[in-house]
Amino acid sequence: MPRSIHSTQPPLRFIALRFNPFILKITQWLLPLLLRFRTRPWLPAGIVNIEARNVKVLAELYQQFQAGKIRFLIAFRHPEVEDPLCMLYLLSRIVPKVARQQNIELKNRVHSYFLYDRGMTIWAGDWLGRLFSRIGGVPVRRGRRLDRHAIQTARELFANGKFPISVAPEGGTNGLSGVVSPLEPGVAQMSFWCLEDLQKANRSETVVIVPIAIQYRYTEPPWSKLDWLLSKLELDSGLPIKEIAQGEQQEIYYQRIYRLAEYLIAEMEEFYRRFYHQDIPKSISNEESPSPNQVLTERLHRLMNTALQVAEQYFGLQSQGTFIDRCRRLEEAGWSYIYREDLPDIKALPPFKRGLADWIAEEADLRMRHMRLVESFVAVTATYIQEQPTAERFAEIALLMFDMLSRIKDTTLPGRPRLGWKEAQITVGEPISVSDRWANSQGDRHAVRQALSDLTRDLQVALQKMID
């Protein structure tokens, strides 16, 4: 992850697609190693097995695609950073295998283009952009209203590319296998654009969206590693030591997580009251007498709103939209102060102007940290653990807390601790026809907007059903 930024940076240029079948082949060959040892080769943690359901549907879609009958977009859940590797494994290994078993003839390579966040190259390094460009990746500036290069490239690939295209409609990871974050409207819009382009070219292909869900589970519940992680978080946060020895194992871990969350929220509330002069009430009044979980979640959301407002006030932004919408706008605003497109040659600046530019970049980076804290918790609900008190859900919440503390106490965000070997479960959903919806909405702007909204909603419902 990136260190703190202390100076202005060159603009974030668009990384053009330079697809290379040989580089893709090497990447596919290395997949099992990448899945097991993506971050720390010496740790016994990673993904050791990938299972997939309903793959025949995807194999048949590829057959129709290669026959020129359809164009399709893969909309996949994005809870963890390993998701793209799992998707690559699904397409390169599982789909061809199922196609052979089901006597489904596939003439060409099974692969897809994909959209990725341009910010990934900031924390991972420029090498990642070079790799992605050669295996089918198109970078997107998530906060820009109009990322012309990305839109034009993705639109061209969707309508005319030799592969389908994959998109994570949530726009980013939320760290939770059991919750789908609110979807961004880009998938629906891209599908309508594809139909427009096909119609202009007098082509009759059907356009569909294929929802795909990804979930993870540990091969063995990592209770001992979870105990170590919670002890570390309690120590790092300064939470007074208190033995909790009553109740079942799940109840003990729940009490520890709840106590840690309550302590961290209280500390952050006081931080914003004292140093950012924010008016945060010390209690929540509700006539309906909500449960302690609901009170804690309301405090969390109020704290998230406060953190975003602190950053928005600095950048002169309105507090409008969902938490995710606001995070995206803040990211783009911060990048515009750091990666200066209005400075063609940073090195040619006189020392005075260079100093001012560096000052602004450093302060923008600091203000964006408020937004980064919020990003980790946009999908947390009051009952997430109580609904299913599994080791996986305890670990997911504890790791989100680890991310928060790491962003505050370190100049870099270290790699997450690995708690054990994991398995991935991929579910291919039933295709959603876009052609029928598009045909029924023509001639009326309101009808088009409603059709886009309905398509986004139906995709959200489909993804959530597959993981419930």
Same domain, 282 and 373: yes
Same domain, 197 and 227: no
Same domain, 270 and 388: yes
- Tell me if 15 is assigned to some domain: no
User: In this structure, are residues 380 and 31 in contact, taking their beta carbons and an 8 Å threshold?
Assistant: no
Question: Count of residues for the chain?
Answer: 468
Same domain, 192 and 320: no
User: In this structure, are residues 67 and 442 in contact, taking their beta carbons and an 8 Å threshold?
Assistant: no
Same domain, 350 and 407: yes
Which secondary structure element, helix H or strand E, spans residue 49, and what is its range?
strand 46-53
Cα distances (angstroms) measured from residue 326 to each of 43, 221, 315, 361, 399: 37, 36, 12, 20, 23
- Tell me if 9 is assigned to some domain: no
What is the 3-state secondary structure of 391-455? HHHHHHHHHHHHHHHHHHHCCCCCCCCCCCEEEEEEEECCCEECHHHHHHCCCCHHHHHHHHHHH
- Tell me if 3 is assigned to some domain: no
User: In this structure, are residues 79 and 174 in contact, taking their beta carbons and an 8 Å threshold?
Assistant: yes
Same domain, 295 and 148: no
Same domain, 322 and 379: yes
Same domain, 194 and 208: yes
Q: Rounded CA gap, 233 and 312, in Å?
A: 29
**For residue 363, which amino acid is it?**
E
- Tell me if 2 is assigned to some domain: no
Same domain, 235 and 359: yes
- Tell me if 210 is assigned to some domain: yes
Same domain, 172 and 306: no
Same domain, 403 and 445: no
Same domain, 44 and 173: yes
- Tell me if 4 is assigned to some domain: no
Number of domains in the chain: 2
- Tell me if 8 is assigned to some domain: no
pLDDT in tens, the chain (468 residues): 456 788 999 999 999 999 999 999 999 999 988 888 764 444 556 899 999 999 999 999 999 999 999 999 999 999 998 999 999 999 999 999 999 999 999 988 999 999 999 988 888 889 999 999 999 999 999 877 678 899 999 999 999 999 999 999 998 888 999 999 989 889 999 999 999 999 999 999 999 999 999 999 999 999 999 999 999 999 999 987 766 666 678 888 999 999 999 999 999 999 999 999 999 987 776 556 578 888 899 999 999 999 999 999 999 999 998 899 999 999 999 999 999 999 988 999 999 999 999 999 999 999 999 999 998 888 888 788 888 899 999 999 999 999 999 888 875 555 778 899 999 999 999 999 999 888 777 767 888 889 999 999 999 999 999 998
Domain holding 58: CATH number? 3.40.1130.10
**Domain termination residue (choose one: 383, 398, 418):** 418
Q: Can you give the pTM of this predicted structure?
A: 0.92
Q: Which domain holds residue 84?
A: 21-219+422-467
- Tell me if 86 is assigned to some domain: yes
